[in-house]
Amino acid sequence: MSARLTRTLRKSRNARLGLGIVVVLLVIALTSPWLATHDPRTQVIQDRLKAPSAQYWLGTDTFGRDVFSRLVWGTRISFLLGFFSTGISSIIGTAMGIVSGYYGGWVDTIVMRVVDTLMSFPTILLAMAIVAILGPDLQNIVIAIALTFSPRFARVIRSVALSVREQGYVLAARASGVRHGSIMWKHVLPNVVSSAIVLLTMQIGTAITMEASLSFLGLGGDPAIPTWGGVINDGRGFLQQAPWISGFAGIAITVTVIGFNLLGDAIRDVLDPRFSKQL
């Protein structure tokens, strides 16, 4: 596997780019207290809507807050949010998918109809509805994203579990009298986990976009907390006078999504070589 990892990294420029972007952003997220030049919450009223300069690298917003520092802190929040929400949704979705695919029959029918119901809503509407019910704060955004994303995991993992179920070793385990739970844990899960990791990486970018969308729509909770979507929202009214506010935040989101998607492709090539040839 490590041989395939090095080969993928050597051969594919996109794989190196994706890994590079994610590593750099991860470093920014981990070192934001030292990297930020200003306090992201401090309002300096006389420095409102200042263009990028030596003092304010990416300019200031309408309250005189430093956009660079807000974006640096926002990286940390976006990453935490992306990892937590996709992590939770991958656990829920993988469990649903394994149970559904392994048992089949009426269990499969029930689980998949629930999944169909959740997926028939436009994702952003469903997330908005959940946040609106639970109340706008970051924790509830994580819950909303986790709930709206888990059906996607359930779908993909179910299809993989369906094929794993037909493998001879599953039949052999049943013939040995191994319990269903144990078969799912020891045989099905290890054989679907690589697909789950690939999907997880791809979904982190989407989750970050989703958080930005919710924050932009004003469902992000405390406006003082710097999130990327919140910064875009802050600059919304000043797109002509101060395009740097929304602009740089938008660039941050775009680069992050591209980074995670490229990394996801690379991980797929390493873990799941079956798919790379088809696509």
Partner 1 sequence: MSVVLRQSPVPDPAVPGAGTGPSAAPGRDVLLEAVDIKKYFPIYGGVLSRVVGHVYAVDGVSFSVQRGETFGLVGESGCGKTTLGMTILGLTPATFGKVYFEGRDIFKMPAGEMRRLRGEMQVIFQDPYGSLDPRMTVGEIVGEPLSAHGAASGARRVERVKELLSVVGLQPMHANRYPHEFSGGQRQRIGIARALALNPKLIICDEPVSALDVSIQSQILNLLDELQDQFKLTYVFIAHGLHVIKHVSDRIGVMYLGKLVEVAPSEELFRAPLHPYTEALLSAIPVPDPDAKRQGRVILEGDVPSPAKPPSGCRFHTRCVLATDRCRTEEPVLRQTGAERSVACHLRG
Interface residue list for partner 1 (CB under 8 A)? 167-169, 171-179, 182, 186-187, 190-191
Structure tokens belonging to residue 163: 């094929």
- Closest approach of Cβ 191 to partner 1, in Å? 6
Distance CA(207)–CA(148), nearest Å, equals 10
Q: Which is nearer to partner 1, 135 or 181 (CB)?
A: 181
Which residue, 3 or 175, has its beta carbon nearer to partner 1?
175
Give me the least distance between CB of 91 and partner 1, in Å please.
20
Residue 119's contacts (CB-CB under 8 Å, 6 or more residues apart) are: 151, 152, 155
Comparing CB distances to partner 1, the nearer of 134 and 171 is 171
Cα 233 from Cα 183, distance rounded (Å) = 49
**Closest distance of CB 62 from partner 1, Å:** 55
- Give me the residues paired with residue 66 across strands: 60
Judge contact between 38 and 66, C-beta under 8 A: yes
State how far the alpha carbon of 4 is from the alpha carbons of 21, 52, 98, 162, 194, in Å. Answer: 21, 44, 27, 27, 14
CA distances from 70 to 63, 140, 184, 269 (A): 12, 21, 45, 35
Shortest gap between Cβ of 173 and partner 1 (angstroms)?
6
Nearest-approach distance from CB 169 to partner 1, in angstroms? 4
Furthest CA-CA distance within the chain? 77
**Minimum distance between the CB of residue 195 and partner 1, rounded to whole angstroms?**
13
Task: Indicate the residue type of 14.
Answer: N
Burial of 5 (0-12, 13-18, 19+ CB in 10 A): middle
